[in-house]
Amino acid sequence: MAIRYDKKLNREIYQTVYAFNKKVRSLNKNNPNIKVPNLITSKDLKTTDTTNPLYSYNRRDLKRRLKEMKRFLRPGEEQVIVTPAKEVFSKWEFNNLQIMRRSAINRIKRQIKSLQENKITFRGRKMKYTYAQMGSSQYTNLLQKLDYLETHKLKEVSGETLAYYRKFLKANTRARRDKEWKDNFLDIILNIGYEYGYNVDTIREKLKKLSVDQFIKLFNSERLLKDMTYYYKLLMETNFDKEMVEDDVGQMVSALEESMDEMIANVT
């Protein structure tokens, strides 16, 4: 969803960027050995390039980034922290990573709870079991992620493990990951339709109209959508004979077309 830059938001961006860069320049001039962040421009924060590390997926994501920059303005945030693993951080950077870690843990716990409590739906109708009871790969993967974050403390990691840790936290921030998954899933539907000659425009348009949160809620419960990813993975395998599952895919696409309104009604 495109961010609407009204006067109030623009003013907050410009004021935050100005104060942030002023402190960075001052520290670089007076304390050249101190570890400080790079300068940031208003253009950086407004980028539409999704590969840019500063790209914001929605207004909430942008406000989170501005809040992060404002924390740097507090006295002492530039102080150096040396961890027991001999890694060097500024206090600001260390605390930001700690906040990301807590957010990721809380998010994963909410997802696990949802898979434990909410019944699987099929064509919009609730079934007997949950995905946790069925031992789904999604549920198992979430448990593994939670275990990794809870057993690896930031102060204890170093070197290549720390580099992976940073990427792991970044990949599991909510706005970025959920928005990317919705976009990727719409591409999956398009590719399956292309491979088997089905018109999937109606399915895609109805899913596209859902908010990211509504889409994630629907995907986490509806088996038909998970089946779509299963068949897509088969298509990506080298030398896979796509005719083997052509009838299954046709039935799945038809079921989605017939049940989409009922499925969407469960999350809107």
Q: Are residues 157 and 180 in the same domain?
A: no
Residue 82 above 90 pLDDT? yes
With the CA atoms of 252, 257, 262 and 264 taken in that order, what torsion angle do they form, in degrees rounded to the nearest 10? 90
Longest Cα–Cα distance of the chain, Å, equals 70
Q: Packing angle between helix 59-72 and helix 174-196, nearest 10 degrees?
A: 150
Cα distance from N-terminal residue to C-terminal residue, the chain:
17
Q: Report pLDDT digits (tens) over 92-126.
A: 999 999 999 998 898 889 889 888 988 888 777 77
Q: Are residues 110 and 219 in the same domain?
A: no
Please state, rounded to an integer, the average pLDDT across all residues of the chain: 88
Report the pLDDT value the prediction gives residue 21, as an integer from 0 to 100: 96
Please report how the helices 174-196 and 212-221 are oriented relative to each other, as an axis angle in degrees rounded to 10. 60
Q: What is the pLDDT of residue 237?
A: 76
* Residue type at 249 in one-letter notation: V
Does any domain span residue 73? yes
Q: What is the pLDDT of residue 36?
A: 86
Give the pLDDT confidence of 54-70 residue by residue, as tens digits: 888 788 889 999 999 99
Examine residue 50 and state whether it is found in any structural domain, yes or no.
Answer: no
> Quick one: tokens of 80?
């150096």
Pairing of strands 80-82, 88-90: antiparallel
Does 186 share its domain with 113? no
Structural domain contains residue 258: yes
pLDDT bracket for residue 1 (50, 70, 90) = low
End residue of a domain, out of 140, 172, 204: 172
Same domain, 32 and 126: yes
Predicted confidence (pLDDT) per residue in 160-197, tens digit: 999 999 988 887 766 567 777 888 889 889 888 888 88
Task: Look at the chain and report how many structural domains it folds into.
Answer: 2
pLDDT at 120: 80
> 93 with 165, same domain?
yes
Q: How far apart are CA 83 and CA 89, in angstroms?
A: 8
**pLDDT tens sequence across 196-227:** 888 999 999 999 999 888 898 888 888 889 88
Q: Which two tokens stand for residue 20?
A: 């942030």
Q: What is the pLDDT of residue 174?
A: 62
Residues 22-45 have pLDDT tens digits of: 999 999 888 777 788 999 999 999
Percent of the chain with pLDDT over 70: 97
Collapsed DSSP state (helix, strand, coil) of residue 48 = coil
Question: What's the pLDDT score for residue 175?
Answer: 57
Domain that holds residue 26: 7-45+55-172
| HSE value, Cβ hemisphere, 13 Å, CA-based, for 100 | 22
